[in-house]
Structure 1
Amino acid sequence: MDDTTRGVRIRRGGLADAPAVLAMLDAAVAWMNDRGNTEQWGTTPFSEKPGGADLVDRYLTENLPYIAEVDGTPAAALVLDSGPDPRAPIAPADEPERYVRLLVSDRRLAGRNLGSALLTHAVQETRRAGVRLLRVDCWAGGGGELVAYYERHGFTPTETFLAGSWPGQVLAQRVLTAR
């Protein structure tokens, strides 16, 4: 299924997208580090982290991956799942849910609102599945800029957590189902 809005084509992703998603993650780490943020994703490129490439492969094969393309080139990725990573210190919801496991965009295309387009798509996919709860977790450090980003997209903070010394925030959005 394809969804085209504002010159951005959103399509289902797959294993063939792994190199592009890894490149986006590596660029995001470098971009954050250049701005002094070494806490969110560390300093090692994602593709060089033990298990990093395997994790991306699992995201693209075991979950619901979506790719935003600009001019036919993968430019952002979103991965939905039926709940949080079981290894994460996050309680599963007491109802069916969709969970944003990954949202990353190509930093060279910043300002194109690719993350916004993918989050809108996540709401649509959640609705199509007849599910009323969409959740995401994110890094809560750095003054809360990422938490505020998700709040601007209709999410409400619910619970905080620590993964080691990494501060996290879970956010939720109620999705109206189609009648």
Structure 2
Amino acid sequence: MDDTIRGIRIRRGGPADAPAVLTMLDSAVAWMNDRGNTEQWGTTPFSAQPARVEQVDRYLTENLPFLAEVDGTPAAAMVLGSGPDPRVPITPADEPERYVRLLVSDRRFAGRHLGSALLAHAVEETRRAGVRLLRVDCWAGGGGKLVAFYERQGFTSTETFRAGSWPGQVLAQRVG
């Protein structure tokens, strides 16, 4: 997919993109921490946590990863799975679904609407697969700003959950 209006190219990703995705995640952690958000993804860069590095490798190998590039530079990433990460304590869907397991952008590209472009791509991939349900979960803290972002993208809040002290929100979108 090419979004020529904004100069964004979305391509299929894979295991070779792990360094770029880790860089995006590290930049997001630093950006959040600079704004006082130490709860969403903690304070330690993903690249410095072996379990997080393994998680990224697993996501890029076992799921459908996509990267948004700006002028050939990986700027954002999304990973679609056939369901949520099994460690997330949410109610399973009673129908086939696509699930956004990861959505992150490199903060150097803030304001380019890369997350919106990737979510629109997720809708198309879900439709192309003949699946009618697209879900995502996200951090529900911070005044619900992230939840509101997903709602602006056409998702509807469904269930809340807690992973330890981490408040989460599941959102869903029907794909026609």
Q: Provide TM-score, normalisation by structure 2.
A: 0.98
Name the CA distance, whole Å, in 2 between partners of 1:153 and 1:147. 10
SS of equivalent residue, structure 1 residue 52: helix
Q: Does 1:39 align with 2:39?
A: yes
Which residue identity does 1:23 align to in structure 2?
T
Q: What do you get for the CA RMSD once the two structures are aligned?
A: 0.6
- Structure 1 match to 2:168: 168
Name the CA distance, whole Å, in 2 between partners of 1:16 and 1:87. 25
SS of equivalent residue, structure 2 residue 38: coil
Stretches of structure 1 that go unaligned for 5 or more consecutive residues are none
SS of equivalent residue, structure 1 residue 31: helix
The answer to which of 95-104 and 42-51 deviates more is 42-51
- Structure 2 match to 1:64: 64
Name the CA distance, whole Å, in 2 between partners of 1:86 and 1:139. 17
Name the CA distance, whole Å, in 2 between partners of 1:37 and 1:74. 25
Question: How far off its partner does 1:91 sit?
Answer: 1.6
Stretches of structure 2 that go unaligned for 5 or more consecutive residues are none
Q: Does 1:110 align with 2:110?
A: yes
- Structure 1 match to 2:2: 4
Question: How far off its partner does 1:145 sit?
Answer: 0.1
Name the CA distance, whole Å, in 2 between partners of 1:33 and 1:61. 29
Q: Provide TM-score, normalisation by structure 1.
A: 0.96
The size of the alignment, in residue pairs, is: 174
Which residue identity does 2:131 align to in structure 1?
V
Name the CA distance, whole Å, in 1 between partners of 2:18 and 2:50. 16
- Structure 2 match to 1:147: 147
Give aligned-pair identity as a percent: 82
Question: How far off its partner does 1:128 sit?
Answer: 0.1
Question: How far off its partner does 1:50 sit?
Answer: 3.2
Which portions of structure 1, spanning 4 or more consecutive aligned residues, are displaced by more than 6 angstroms?
none
- Structure 2 match to 1:19: 19
Name the CA distance, whole Å, in 1 between partners of 2:50 and 2:81. 23
Which residue identity does 1:38 align to in structure 2?
T
Name the CA distance, whole Å, in 2 between partners of 1:11 and 1:84. 22
Q: In the TM superposition, what are the counterparts of 1:41-56 in structure 2 within 5 Å? A: 41-56=41-56
- Structure 1 match to 2:89: 89
Name the CA distance, whole Å, in 2 between partners of 1:87 and 1:168. 13
- Structure 2 match to 1:101: 101
Name the CA distance, whole Å, in 1 between partners of 2:139 and 2:153. 16
